[in-house]
Amino acid sequence: MLSQAMLAAFDDPSWFSSIMSYVGIFAGFSFIIFVHELGHFAVAKWSGVRVEQFAIGFFREVVGFTKGETRYSFNLLPLGGYVKMLGQEDFEVDTTGELQYRDDPRSFANKPVGVRMAIVSAGVIMNLILSFVLFVIIYSIGKTVQAPRVGATIPSRPAAAAGIMSGDIIKSINGSSVDEFQDIPMTVMLAKPGEPLEFVVDRNGEEKTFRVIPEVNASEDIFQIGVTSPQTATLVGVGPAYDPENRIHPRVGDVIVKMGDVEVTEENANAMMNLLVTDPLKFNEVVVERKPFDADENAEPKRVTVELDPRIVLRRIDNVKPNIYGLVPLTRFSSIIPGGRADLAQIEVGDVILKWGDIENPTTSQIEASVLKPHKSDWGPTERDIPVKLLKHSSGRIVNTVIRPKIKIVPLLRIQKGKPTIDAKFDMLADHFLKVGDVVEETMNTETPAAKAGIPAGAFITRVNDQPVKTWVQMSEIFRTNAGQDVVVHYDLGDERDLSATMSIPPSLRTKLGIGPASTIVAFDGQERVKVERNGKSAEFSVNFALALNKVLKESVGKTVEVEYRAGPLSPAESQEVTITDDMFVPWVGSSAYTIDIIAGGETTVLQTSNPVEAIQLGVKKTYFFVMQVYQVMERMIFSRTLGVDKISGPVGIVEIGSKMARGGIVELLWFLALISANLAVINFLPLPIVDGGLMVFLIIEKIKGSPISVRVQVATQVVGLVLIATAFLYVTLNDLAR
């Protein structure tokens, strides 16, 4: 009899869906290969070449039949295929080592070079045609894509520095039209290092142009510009501070319908959600629509008022640690990969890191350095244990654990591959734990208020001006509202209680204007953009960018200038006259921001056309786009070395991604197969032995030379090509398994 567990498994439709998704992707791969080989087969037949076998897959034949002079077979591994023609291997070698083809008029080798070139290139051409046809079908049916609208710009990153704003609709990049949001990061990722991209955007019906220079995201080693996709008002994730069982906490599935006095609609959702996560102090609570946990499917959602808990985010404004007037908070875990090293150490999202190894009150950069620290033995790189002390988010208890960073080792060679990792991110500040992790001495060549006051690392802050403080958000706001004055900071340090220090809080341009971290400086004395030296290069940046603002402030000491600004993301532009003093150089207020740990769903649109001409144009564009992407990726990996080879996927990764796409429906599966077909066309026509591109090179040389290449050269290149392909196959497969 079947066990209860087995019966439960069969009752669960997810296992069947998963199996069918793999069946679908393998069937799709086989179809792509069939089309490729059909190209070779058809042109060979039309050219009068005898085809002895037409096979899909490799290894043992699973099923097949013979019709006429050709054996048609489907083999065990459907990740390749071949057409065997008379004359491809039908030769003898004489004493000189030259090829002596048998005198058969139907032999591939006896056909003119031009005919053989047509046969060899037919497979790639068929793949391009297949990709084009699939894209035409996809966009005739309609594909749901992310709208090409900017959800938010990350402060101090290239897009924000250039002047691109939340809500802008990206129309084109370097003259190439943008149909969906995914076009943006892909185009940026493949940009030439150091060269600006020209963005044309639609801002409230007005067309604007910006030049943006992508920069490398160090953690992911790819070019980015710092924009997020547009949002809806439906929550798809909430942070660890929220309990789904608590009625007044936001939960996944909630739809935000009202913020303050403003009703949230489809039209204003992106703007309102951006306002919520960038200026949360305006909203202590919001109204959501939700169904009770035990409600019927057809039940009407009810409106519930939920409370929100803002947290602080620090921005890097100079080549120093992000800080609050010199104070650096401790860090906590923001995400944990299930089954990874941090998870095995029983670390949870939200846990505050009190000690890492022998480092008390560690900062994010110190933890990163510790994880990446090399540790070698006589046998090469080895893993090591790191003791960690945590303040648990779930219980508030202090616990000790041990974590072992994972090091990927190339088998046999004992060579480290990639960077060590703990399978977790720890980039969230411990907002509700007011212990000072570090004190920054200087920012923008100015001594920080905390360093000047002598507040030590390890201090636990309890009050400011006799006002109790519980979070870094509260303390940051007290500092902002007391700009230009002294404040008394009370703190505990070890066994010593109620120590104090006086901090002089300097003014800044924003405090003079009476605006907070969510504000934007639009123009300074008529200037919207300023040329600034950054990382050894000169470029124009928005005056809202910290370095640009610092420059114009220094140039304007003693002057009274007009400053145009927006108090918040949705606020109208205003202007004030401000007299600039020499204590306003550092944009202290702009170095911090407040946000809320909620994730909203993405704004989507259906990319569809009923016009055949437009569908054909989209098919051509997408096929060309993905073909050029492959060439650009190879250039970035091989020549400019600005893209790591660990970013590519091999068979295992492709099958895994493809199966997920297959679970998304027929349109998603067709889109993935169109992408793979375009990729296969490029890769199969590279000038490498074994693949069609290598054969084409041999034919070109034969045409120039007037005779075939010697068998020794052919055999040698075939062996080298086989070794290269086998090595690449093994590497990407190991890379997939490691991921």
Half-sphere exposure for 210 (CA within 13 Å, toward CB): 25
Rounded Cα distance, 458 and 260, in Å: 39
- Class of 509-585 per CATH? mainly beta
* Average pLDDT of span 612-639: 78
Euclidean distance between CA atoms 331 and 362, whole angstroms: 8
Q: How do residues 517-571 score in pLDDT, each as one tens digit?
A: 888 898 999 998 888 876 667 777 888 888 888 899 999 999 999 999 988 877 8
Q: Among residues 37, 180, 477, 540, which one is catalytic?
A: 37
- pLDDT tens across 32-53, in order? 888 888 898 889 889 888 888 8
H runs (alpha helix) in 279-383: 341-344, 364-372
The pLDDT score that the predictor gives to residue 5 is: 38
Round to whole Å and give the CA distance between 266 and 234: 10
Decide if 491 contacts 477 (C-beta within 8 A). no
207-221, 530-544, 574-588, 687-701: range with highest mean pLDDT: 574-588
Give the pLDDT confidence score for residue 126 in this predicted structure.
Answer: 92
How long a stretch of residues is the chain?
Answer: 739
Which of the two residues, 493 and 6, has the higher pLDDT score? 493
Distance CA 80, CA 31 (A): 10
H or E segment and range at residue 6: helix 4-11
Backbone angles phi, psi at 198, to 5 degrees: -95, 110
Residue 199 pLDDT greater than 90, yes or no:
yes
Residue 445: how many CB atoms within 10 A of its CB? 9
Asked if 116 and 699 count as a contact pair (C-beta separation under 8 A), the reply is: yes
Measured distance CA(653)–CA(664) in Å, rounded: 17
pLDDT in tens, 64-95: 888 888 888 888 776 667 788 887 654 444 44
pLDDT of residue 10: 37
Nearest-angstrom CA–CA distance, 450 and 448: 5
Beta strand 537-542 pairing with 529-534: antiparallel
Burial class (CB in 10 A: 0-12, 13-18, 19+), 240: middle
Does domain 331-429 sit in CATH 1.20.1250.20? no
Tokens standing for residue 352: 């505050």
Among the CATH numbers 3.40.50.300, 3.40.50.720, 3.30.1490.100, 2.30.42.10, which is that of 144-229? 2.30.42.10
CA-based angle 728:729:732, to the nearest 5? 80
Q: Quick one: average pLDDT of 608-634?
A: 81
Q: What is the pLDDT of residue 456?
A: 94
Mean pLDDT of all residues in 130-148: 89
Q: Where are the domains of the chain?
A: 15-142+673-738, 144-229, 231-314, 331-429, 436-504, 509-585
* 693, HSE (Cβ side, Cα atoms, 13 Å): 10
Best CA proximity match to 562, nearest among 606, 609, 614, 524: 524
Q: Is the Cβ–Cβ distance between 130 and 677 less than 8 Å? A: yes
647's CB contacts (< 8 A; 6+ apart) are: 221, 222
pLDDT tier for residue 59 given thresholds of 50, 70 and 90: confident
pTM of this structure: 0.67
Q: Are 626 and 131 in contact (CB under 8 A)?
A: yes
* pLDDT tens digits for range 477-504: 999 999 999 999 999 998 899 999 999 9
Read out DSSP for 679-731? HHHHHTTSS-TTSHHHHHHHHHHHHHHSSPPPHHHHHHHHHHHHHHHHHHHHH
Answer yes or no: are the C-beta atoms of 556 and 483 closer than 8 Å: no
The whole-chain average pLDDT of the chain stands at: 82
Q: Does domain 436-504 have CATH number 2.30.42.10?
A: yes
Residue 34: name the closest of 70, 67, 2, 81 by CA.
81
For position 1, what pLDDT does the model report? 38
DSSP string, 518-568: T-EEEEETTBSEEEEEETTEEEEEETTSHHHHHHHHHHTTT-EEEEEEESS
Task: Indicate if 635 belongs to the active site.
Answer: no
Confidence at 401, pLDDT banded by 50, 70, 90 = very high
Whether residue 674 has pLDDT greater than 50: yes
Question: Does position 657 have pLDDT exceeding 70, yes or no?
Answer: no
Are the CB atoms for 677 and 131 separated by under 8 Å? Answer: yes
Using 50, 70 and 90 to split pLDDT, how confident is the model at 96? very low
Nearest residue to 476 via CA among 453, 450, 456: 450
